Chains A and B, each alone.
Chain A
Amino acid sequence: MALLEISNLQISFGGLRAVDDFNLNIEKGELYGLIGPNGAGKTTVFNLLTGEYKPDEGIVKLDGRDITGKSTIEINKAGIARTFQNIRLFKQLSVIDNVKVGLHNQYQYSTATSILRLPKYFAVEKEMNDKAMALLKVFDLDQEAEYLSANLPYGKQRKLEIARALATNPKLLLLDEPAAGMNPNETEELMKTIKVLQKDFQMTILLIEHDMKLVSGICERLTVLNFGRILTQGDTKTVLKNPEVIKAYLGE
């Protein structure tokens, strides 16, 4: 059974079919790419998967469980975490606190415990700190843990967003253009980190990307979206050679 099963997903905005008849299966541990020209509906697919939009039709199953039409919070709890095309950090919080917000639902203590500073508060906070630092280390952000997240350089902000998503302990990670705005060195580094997530964290990853070097470098399979419909899907090499795909990207 595939980890993520999407069948016949569809949504319209004011008569315009933004996503139509979208089908996709992603296996556990797979690194999957969703590509296509601007406006093809890639981010809309992400928004449908995470509950920002409710699909008009279709079914989304995660690990065999139907999550279609559930709220963003429920879907996150079920195991899907995401990053955003326009970085959405908690800008007034420190780097480590951004990750600790991600850890929110895995550690519990009551409001009263925090206000009265009961021993449980210190114990759980320490666990959260350790876990957050470990995650930051993976992304080479541990030195900047106490920085205000808004003050991080761009590339590191993107990484922090991934770290925060990972902190929610997802089964599936959705990355929306993780390399956007990065220079070639940063992209290179990001590719390595994504590989690490797949190998060491056994993470299943679905990513949207325009950087073909990154896509061909790390994605195992691809789906190409054009005008809201699937143009083709299959293993990366075959898909990228497909003349239809080249035409969609470069025009006639």
Chain B
Amino acid sequence: MKSKIAAMSKTSRDNFKTYAMVLIVYVVVMIFQAAGLVSSQMSGLLVPLCVYATMAVSLNLVVGILGELSLGHAGFMCVGAFAGAFFSKITENSMGTFPRFFLAIVIGGLVAGIFGFLIGIPVLRLNGDYLAIVTLAFGEIIKNIMNVLYVGQDASGLHFSMTSATDLNMDGATGNLIINGPQGITGTPFDSTFTAGIIILMISLIVVLNLMNSRDGRAIMSIRDNHIAAESVGINITKYKMTAFTISAVIAGCAGSLYAHNLASLIATPARFGYNMSIMFLVFVVLGGIGSMRGSIIAATILTLLPEILRFMAGYRMLIYSIVLIVIMIVNWNPKSRAWLAEHNLSRFLFKKHHEKKEVK
């Protein structure tokens, strides 16, 4: 085994470490849980943790690998959450738990993927901050629409409305309101488990890391590094931007569906699916190291647990959290502090794999 690891290329070894890290954490948590050492509060955080880590991986594909800033990833998560929960609701009595949940995740991913593709067509023509604001706009539009969407099911099929539940004109006897405007979806089966979350996170990781080390991945990264040169060697920019963006949306949709099956009521609130959430994912990505999937997962974990750990400080915890965030960013990215840390052999405390830009004229 050891010789096999040594024979792997540097990137494979690095990927292997990332997979191993996730699995070890999983095993440790399972052991602790079996021993009754995990508080109910912590247990409640396990599924969201997987959701956030998966979202960080998804967003890092766009920000770190494709090199475009998206501020609307919570929107894709939202679409996936509603699509998955909707599917589970209408098949609740006709399917077994496992196949239903499996399909709910797949459907969440697919529907978000379709949204990602359709939104990508206009959005990816823009550059830089313009692209960022348009993704933010799409995310807000999705959240807004989910708040006015009513969907019901009766004997004659599905009914849609954008105004109110009564406008669905459902048959009173068999009518079943599934998406209830601002009240969203209630009673989605609690199918999400920590194990399911870890599986989804692992699959997302495998997809993204394998993609990175492939022909398509190199094409995507070449666009990030220099789109003019990429075009000059025959790389189809639109195609590969779309590929990255769509795959990222699919992963976000799966994470959303996982999230939805952990909630008693799924509501498209600003706190859950608004731009603030998208920004939180971006914080994970940047703090963990742009382009580093392992870093994203670590940052997502630490920053999700930090407010819990700081709970004893009550009202001050979010204040402390924001100060910690600012200080980490300055220490980590200020050129002088980086040089100082390097001088004192403390660079290992820095988050690795930044885009070091050395200008060559």
Contacts and interface: CB of A to CB of B under 8 A. Distances in A.
Contacts of B211: 111, 114-115
B219 A101 contact: yes
B166 interface: no
Contacts of A164: 229, 233
Interface string B218-256: 110110111011111111100000010000000000000
B97 interface: no
A240 interface: no
Instruction: Determine chain B's interface SS by DSSP, over half rule.
Output: helix
B10 A146 contact: yes
B163 interface: no
Nearest to A161: B229
Contact of A114 (B214, B226, B233): B214
A104 to B, nearest CB: 6
A218 interface: no
Contacts of A102: 233
Interface string A87-103: 11111110001001110
Interface in A140-189: 146, 150, 154, 157, 164-165, 167-168
Given A104-B233, A168-B233, A91 B210 contact: no
A158 to B, nearest CB: 10
Nearest to A98: B222
Most chain B C-beta atoms within 10 Å of own C-beta, residue among A92, A111, A154: A92
Interface residues of B, number: 34
A104 B215 contact: yes
Given A115-B211, A117-B210, A104 B226 contact: no
Nearest to B239: A73
Contacts of B218: 93, 97, 100-101, 104
Contact of A121 (B214, B232, B355): B214
Interface in B191-228: 206-207, 210-211, 213-219, 221-222, 224-226, 228
B343 interface: no
A109 interface: yes
A121 B217 CA distance: 13
A107 interface: yes
A216 B42 CA distance: 75
Contacts of A116: 210
Contacts of A114: 210-211, 213-217
B357 interface: yes
25 contacts: A72-B232, A76-B232, A76-B234, A77-B234, A88-B228, A90-B221, A90-B222, A91-B225, A91-B357, A91-B358, A92-B221, A92-B291, A101-B218, A104-B219, A105-B234, A111-B211, A114-B210, A114-B211, A114-B215, A114-B216, A117-B210, A121-B214, A146-B10, A154-B360, A167-B233
